[in-house]
Amino acid sequence: MAAEVISGKDLAREIKEEIAAKVPEYVKEYGRAPHLAVILVGEDPASMSYVKSKGKDAEQVGFRSTTLRLPETTSEEELLEIIAGMNADDELDGVLVQLPLPKHIDEDRVIAAISKEKDVDGFHPLNVAALWQKTECIAPCTPKGVMRMLAKAGINPEGKRAVVIGRSNIVGLPMSKMLLDANATVTVAHSRTKDLPAVTREADILVAAVGRLRFVTADMVKPGAVVIDVGVNRDPADGKLYGDVDYIPVAEKASVITPVPGGVGPMTRACLLENTVECFLRKMNKKN
Ligand code: NAP
């Protein structure tokens, strides 16, 4: 059996085309396009490349895009002041601070300083609370992208056993909550989980968000499972990017799988654009 591959790249392209088609309507109705600002502090190569892609995506769909590159030496106070300025800017709809930040800056403080209404990453404590309370929130992009991929593949999590490996605030935890809200029976596994393969073999839907190269091997997967690979890891052997899943043998056993690259990554970026539109529309509709 060879698994069906859900192409995040293709689905993301569809989403971007839909957004791009609507931007001229927004301009007509509200007088301007959505505007996304991305702040990068320092010169971490992976962060620089993510920030560049986010700016490019925004421009491709016709948004206004601002990228602010700040030196590594930027102080927390300076960054907070810049964020306060962006919060107050009526012509700006989304503010994203690329993580991780340099060690001398308190990430939690910075995230909490972004206006909840402009928090396109969905990391603000009030957006996190809203997700857990099932009230209107900006949902974090990566798990939101995964849910969109499941829907695209016609997979309804209701009644299914879902196992999420990873319990980070940005991926594992919100992922587990979204699967729970979709009526899956969810287990969250982590580094202290005992006999992980026995746990993962129970999964109808297995989401790997670990950050370890080829961590999920075929013996950990139930035949016919849906396997979602969130991980992004560089293999020192060839310098290329791979997921957390040992793709070829797992694809032989799974019914559905997502590739890396071209899977969850592009969907995360597409959902960032969607979140920007959401923030823009909420703001414009509040005004009218
Ligand atoms: P993270 O904060 O480092 O969390 C990793 C999680 O994996 C932790 O909960 C950790 O458990 C768990 N873990 C580590 N070793 C384990 C083991 N041996 N057995 C079981 N669980 C283990 O990472 P993250 O930010 O969630 O990201 C996870 C991966 O997704 C990374 O590769 C990251 O690059 C990728 N990512 C991709 C996208 C995308 O758009 N494609 C977006 C975000 C992140 P403990 O809690 O016990 O430490």
Residue to probe by mutation, ligand 1, list 101, 171, 175, most atoms within 8 Å of CB: 171
pLDDT class for 101, splitting at 50, 70, 90?
very high
pLDDT digits (tens, 9 = 90+) for 145-166: 999 999 999 999 999 999 999 9
* CATH of region 141-265: 3.40.50.720
pLDDT class for 185, splitting at 50, 70, 90?
very high
Nearest CA to 130 out of 116, 143, 144 is that of: 116
With a 6 Å cutoff on the Cβ, whether 272 touches ligand 1 is: no
* CATH of region 30-116: 3.40.50.10860
| Residue numbers annotated as active site | 54, 98, 121
pLDDT class for 286, splitting at 50, 70, 90?
confident
Taking the CB of residue 16, how many other CB atoms lie within 10 A of it?
Answer: 18
Beta bridge partners of 216: 245
pTM score: 0.97
pLDDT class for 1, splitting at 50, 70, 90?
low
Q: Which secondary-structure segment (H or E) carries 234?
A: strand 233-234
Look at residue 287 and tell me whether its pLDDT is greater than 80: no
Domains 30-116 and 141-265 in one fold: yes
Percent residues over pLDDT 90 in the chain: 98
Query: In the predicted model, what is the mean pLDDT of residues 16-43?
Result: 98
CB 237 within 8 A of CB 244: no
Angle, helices 8-30 vs 45-60, to 10°: value is 50
Give the Cα separation of 203 and 224 in Å (integer). Answer: 10
pLDDT digits (tens, 9 = 90+) for 109-128: 999 999 999 999 999 999 99
Query: In the predicted model, what is the mean pLDDT of residues 73-102?
Result: 98
- Per-residue confidence (pLDDT) for residue 79, from 0 to 100: 98
With a 6 Å cutoff on the Cβ, whether 170 touches ligand 1 is: yes
pLDDT digits (tens, 9 = 90+) for 76-85: 999 999 999 9
Query: In the predicted model, what is the mean pLDDT of residues 81-105?
Result: 98
- Per-residue confidence (pLDDT) for residue 288, from 0 to 100: 63
Fill in the DSSP letter of residue 163: E
Atom from ligand 1 closest to the CA of residue 232 = 32
Q: What is the overall mean pLDDT for the chain?
A: 97
Domain residue limits, the chain: 30-116, 141-265
Give the Cα separation of 41 and 195 in Å (integer). Answer: 40
Residue to probe by mutation, ligand 1, list 96, 101, 190, most atoms within 8 Å of CB: 190
- The protein residue with its alpha carbon nearest to ligand 1, atom 30, reads 231
- Per-residue confidence (pLDDT) for residue 36, from 0 to 100: 98
Element counts in the chain: helices (H) and strands (E): 10, 11
* Encoded tokens for 160: 């299914």
* Encoded tokens for 194: 């005992």
Three-state SS string over 24-56 comes to HHHHHHHCCCCEEEEEEECCCHHHHHHHHHHHH
pLDDT digits (tens, 9 = 90+) for 216-247: 999 999 999 999 999 999 999 999 999 999 99
Give the Cα separation of 222 and 135 in Å (integer). Answer: 34
- Per-residue confidence (pLDDT) for residue 276, from 0 to 100: 98
Q: State CA 254 to chain mean position distance.
A: 23
Q: Which secondary-structure segment (H or E) carries 187?
A: strand 185-189
